[in-house]
Structure 1
Amino acid sequence: MTRKENLLAAIHRTGPEWVPNGMENTIRLYPPILERPLSAGKDAFGCIWDLTEGAVGGTYSREGDHILHDLKDWKNVVKFPDVEMFDWEYVQNQVGNLNRDEFLFEGFVEMGLFERSYLLLGMENALINYMLEPELMFELVSAIADYKIKFIQKFDDMIDLDMVWFGDDWGSQHNLLIPPDKWREIIKPNLKRVYDCMKERGIIINQHSCGKIEDVFGDVVELGADMWNMCQPCNNLKKMKNEYGDRISFHGGIDSQFVLNAPDASVEGIIEEVKLRITEMAPGGGYIAGPSHTIPSHKPELLEAFYGAIDEYGGSAYKK
């Protein structure tokens, strides 16, 4: 079994020979216009991003810099980019002479329905409107979904994508950022349309969401996501695996916050965390090992321990 074949077997839960390490043999393709720019300035929607001086990447939106101050004006204020005007040749050049027999081509689609709504409105204003103006918020989120569908269709037309990483953070460390009933009322029907677009094209759906999303995870499974990316341990991952592991796959889960990047991070602690996560999540396939966010790049010995433990325990997970 090749690495690509093993990765697909893990995603589809059809008998992988080992637990894949991260997204090995996946080429992430970045669109010509990033919705989260790498440097300070405006994105394609006119939303303002800032960057800490001296930092590389990690732009952030500041509360108060939003462009939509009154939700009732959204049709006049919000201007969706024309996907036909993007430099798609740039994306085709990323592919170059890569061998599709070796790699999955994954399109990177960030700033999903919820994230784009609060980038336009500002977080506080958006959260208020999700509660007080659900009908208007549905209209705005529906328009965002329309744009995402056009974007994904064009991306796929140009590259023939195998998979899409669809990013949209719905949770904090403790709860969803909006109540589950509002997520189901406003986000879910529009997310279904985005998913349906990908399914019609045979694209694997890799839904990224940070935070504690247990309250709507069953809905994500119901909509047909193939994989959940990040799997942060603020969720009860073992319970979610036991309940939904025959219908969705998990990517991530190895604790970045309290283990990999902890001030007292140790080789021994990292090895134990990797072993625990693989033991809990690997049975039956459907697990791609990886961090719950960033990796410990500040100390080479920690990084070596992380990857070494995945190779050791992931490599033997399905051996009898």
Structure 2
Amino acid sequence: MLTKRQNLLETIQGGHPDRYVNCHEAFAFIIDPILTHIGGFAYTMKPGETVMNQWGVTVTFPKGCAGPLPIHSNGLAALKDITKWRETVRAPRIVYPPEVWATAKAQADAVDRKEQFVAAFMAPGIFEKINYLMGMEPAMVAFYEEPEAMHELFDFMADWELAYAKELMKYIKPDLVFHHDDFGTQYSSFFSPEMFQEFFVPVYKKVYGYFKEQGCLIVHHSDSYVANLIPSMIEMGIDIHQGTIHTNNLPELVKTYGGQISFMGGIDNSIVDREDWTHESIAAQIKKVCDEIPPKYFLPCTSMGGPDCSYPGVYDAVCEEIEKYNKKRFSLT
């Protein structure tokens, strides 16, 4: 039986996987001190908290919500004028002494890299950071009204992420990078393919290109419609698109692009992650998706950007039901 790491590689390389990859089982996530010091993210906040993170963004985590949200109302937007971003945006600290990295390094050193990938976790992404600073509507308008300033801010964010990447390689040497940046809604991308190519591809090729030079796999999370952006995402260097929801027509994506990129999803949180969830409803969704799509280039997974869920027990139940499905379909013992 292949290890979790080997099975994932066989899956994305079009080899001979002996079962479906089970959600995030092959990833040993490491939450690094740069991310934790910035603050204002799901892994650093508790429901009910409101904080200002190191980007100057006010972030709140309402009770009952899946995660924290930036606040832009009542004059709280950190960046109010895109043309003045140079005077306004102050990037968080990146360089910390080795002792600050001690816990993350020890966690990475403890991972059996034959069994799992040491996975760096980077969030929010380049566009999401700008959205956090400005708000969604002003950010979208800026693409049209102030494209030069937007290009400059994108380049600034990419250079910051590149410096961040070098610290990750210095201390934890990840095998894989799990990077967030949501590119659309459930039914449409935020950007035309032409706009996406102009603004996103150059900066992501810079960041992902560095990681790939270091031998890392790239897993990009966007739980949205991205079918029209896949050619550009391939050009960026993405190995696995995580969060592929049903509106993308997953079987067609695998058929069309398998061998160039793999897809991790098909079990939408909007479908299974409900207050009234049951093992039976989750098993039915897994069977529906996996009966239609063979394991090459497809990794069944919930669409949330990590091993988590909105309603307690859902993620574990999904993993249990995929394991049951694997045992039945592949005669595993």
Give TM-score, length-normalised by structure 1.
Answer: 0.89
User: Per-residue CA shift, 1:10-41, capped at 9, x if unaligned?
Assistant: 23332211112112142101121335433321
State the partner residue of 2:269: 256
2:108 counterpart of 1:95:
yes
2:309 counterpart of 1:311:
no
2:72 counterpart of 1:63:
yes
Q: Give the 3-state SS of the residue equivalent to 1:95 in structure 2.
A: helix
State the partner residue of 1:79: 90
State the partner residue of 1:42: 52
State the partner residue of 1:144: 157
Distance 1:161 1:305, change over 3 A: closer
Q: 1:109 aligns with which of 108, 115, 122?
A: 122
Distance 1:194 1:305, change over 3 A: closer
Q: Give the 3-state SS of the residue equivalent to 1:84 in structure 2.
A: coil
Asked whether the 8 Å contact 1:23–1:288 carries over to 2, the reply is no
Distance 1:201 1:303, change over 3 A: closer
Aligned-residue offset at 1:162: 0.3
CA distance, structure 2, for counterparts of residue 123 and residue 276 of structure 1? 35
Asked whether the 8 Å contact 2:111–2:118 carries over to 1, the reply is no
State the partner residue of 1:33: 34
Matches within 5 A, 1:222-241: 222-241=235-254
Q: Give the 3-state SS of the residue equivalent to 1:33 in structure 2.
A: helix
CA distance, structure 1, for counterparts of residue 303 and residue 4 of structure 2? 22
CA distance, structure 1, for counterparts of residue 105 and residue 10 of structure 2? 27
Q: 1:211 aligns with which of 224, 229, 243?
A: 224
How many pairs align?
Answer: 315
Paired AA for residue 275 in structure 1: K
CA distance, structure 2, for counterparts of residue 57 and residue 274 of structure 1? 22
Asked whether the 8 Å contact 1:166–1:208 carries over to 2, the reply is yes
CA distance, structure 2, for counterparts of residue 92 and residue 56 of structure 1? 32
Asked whether the 8 Å contact 1:134–1:186 carries over to 2, the reply is no
Asked whether the 8 Å contact 1:18–1:316 carries over to 2, the reply is no
Paired AA for residue 14 in structure 2: R
Aligned-residue offset at 1:222: 2.6
Q: Which moved more, 1:303-312 or 1:33-42?
A: 303-312
Q: Give the 3-state SS of the residue equivalent to 2:188 in structure 1.
A: coil
Asked whether the 8 Å contact 1:104–1:163 carries over to 2, the reply is yes
Paired AA for residue 286 in structure 1: Y
**Is there any run of 5+ residues in structure 2 with no aligned partner, and where?**
none
Aligned-residue offset at 1:291: 1.1
Q: 1:194 aligns with which of 207, 210, 220?
A: 207
Paired AA for residue 121 in structure 1: M
State the partner residue of 1:278: 290
Q: Which moved more, 1:205-214 or 1:59-68?
A: 59-68
Aligned-residue offset at 1:297: 4.6
User: Per-residue CA shift, 1:74-131, capped at 9, x if unaligned?
Assistant: 1111112231137322321333533223221000001111101111222221111012
Asked whether the 8 Å contact 1:226–1:248 carries over to 2, the reply is yes
Task: Calculate percent identity across the aligned residue pairs.
Answer: 26
**Is there any run of 5+ residues in structure 1 with no aligned partner, and where?**
none
Matches within 5 A, 1:130-169: 130-169=143-182
Asked whether the 8 Å contact 1:7–1:24 carries over to 2, the reply is no
Asked whether the 8 Å contact 2:3–2:114 carries over to 1, the reply is no
Asked whether the 8 Å contact 2:66–2:309 carries over to 1, the reply is no
State the partner residue of 2:4: 3
Aligned-residue offset at 1:163: 0.1
CA distance, structure 2, for counterparts of residue 2 and residue 102 of structure 1? 5
